[in-house]
A and B are shown apart, each in its own frame.
Chain A
């Protein structure tokens, strides 16, 4: 939730490849997913991002991505698509 809220506010998020986090951001930019969860990987990711060595999506793209993926009307539409698909099986 924190990740999506940050994107909705226009701030890109670096995530470790753990749980559902990569799923949230990788379609916005694969650069946002760190190589692993080790201290060197975290340090390198933060350093590269802050020193402009890592291309990050701009504010408007982060906001548009969060709105398009996580707006409730879009989620409801995806749920209804799943209903249609399940009832056709």
Chain B
């Protein structure tokens, strides 16, 4: 014969047994997934900016950030990134735009370029790619990637950081780039 208190205790055990307990892996505090960062560069040739990219990207905290290097042309940087375990993807851009001089860049100059249609096609592909991958941030690592990729990221509604690797001077940068005030920037 059970006493009243024993009955209540057994009922509590019965109820507790009916409620599924969370598995151990859920009861732990789970950290958010790493934020996907698109790092854009117009070239995969090993210039100063690209060597710097290679050096800092492999030191990013991979538990917080998942970097994907988006290159507008192929080159030795891709193999170096692969060897460092960094994912890269090629979104090809017309060689005439890739190889255009920095001081000739700007909206007016782009209009003069006969490959305008291919440049627009490139922008559409880049916007679609940035949207499809769910990037949290776009980091542009060169002037040309900022001009083209920065606009694409703005259209895709992704925040942009322009990594300033150039002098911000009238004798060096086009006015359109010197006047870019709506992006965050880091210099070194």
By a beta-carbon cutoff of 8 Å, the part of chain A in contact with chain B is 1, 19-20, 23, 70, 72-73, 75-76, 78-80, 82-83, 85-87, 89
The answer to whether B35 and A83 touch across the interface, beta carbons within 8 angstroms, is yes
Residues of A within 8 A of B65 (CB): 80, 83
Nearest first, the 3 A-B pairs at minimum CB distance are A76-B59, A19-B167, A82-B186
Residues of B in contact (CB 8 Å), total 25
Given A75-B56, A79-B139, A79-B186, 13 new contacts (CB under 8 A): A20-B167, A75-B59, A76-B59, A76-B60, A78-B188, A79-B56, A79-B60, A80-B61, A83-B137, A86-B137, A86-B184, A87-B137, A89-B159
What 1/0 flags go to B12-53 for Cβ under 8 Å of A? 000000000000000000000001010000000000100010
Alpha-carbon distance A19/B184, docked complex (angstroms): 20
The answer to whether B184 and A85 touch across the interface, beta carbons within 8 angstroms, is yes
The answer to whether B60 and A78 touch across the interface, beta carbons within 8 angstroms, is no
Residues of B within 8 A of A19 (CB): 167, 169
Known contacts A73-B59, A75-B188; A82 and B161 CB within 8 A of each other = yes
Residues of A within 8 A of B136 (CB): 87
What 1/0 flags go to B53-77 for Cβ under 8 Å of A? 0011101110011000000000000
The answer to whether B184 and A82 touch across the interface, beta carbons within 8 angstroms, is yes
The answer to whether B60 and A89 touch across the interface, beta carbons within 8 angstroms, is no
The answer to whether A87 and B61 touch across the interface, beta carbons within 8 angstroms, is no
Pick from A1, A20, A73: contact of B187, CB below 8 A: A20
Pick from B56, B139, B163, B187: contact of A76, CB below 8 A: B56
Closest chain B residue to A19, Cβ basis = B167
Most buried by B among A75, A76, A79, A85: A79
Pick from A1, A70, A72: contact of B59, CB below 8 A: A72
Alpha-carbon distance A11/B184, docked complex (angstroms): 33
Q: Tell me the minimal C-beta distance from A30 to chain B in angstroms.
A: 19
Alpha-carbon distance A17/B64, docked complex (angstroms): 39
Closest chain B residue to A85, Cβ basis = B184
Q: Tell me the minimal C-beta distance from A15 to chain B in angstroms.
A: 13
Alpha-carbon distance A89/B159, docked complex (angstroms): 8
Alpha-carbon distance A79/B188, docked complex (angstroms): 10
Residues of B within 8 A of A78 (CB): 186, 188
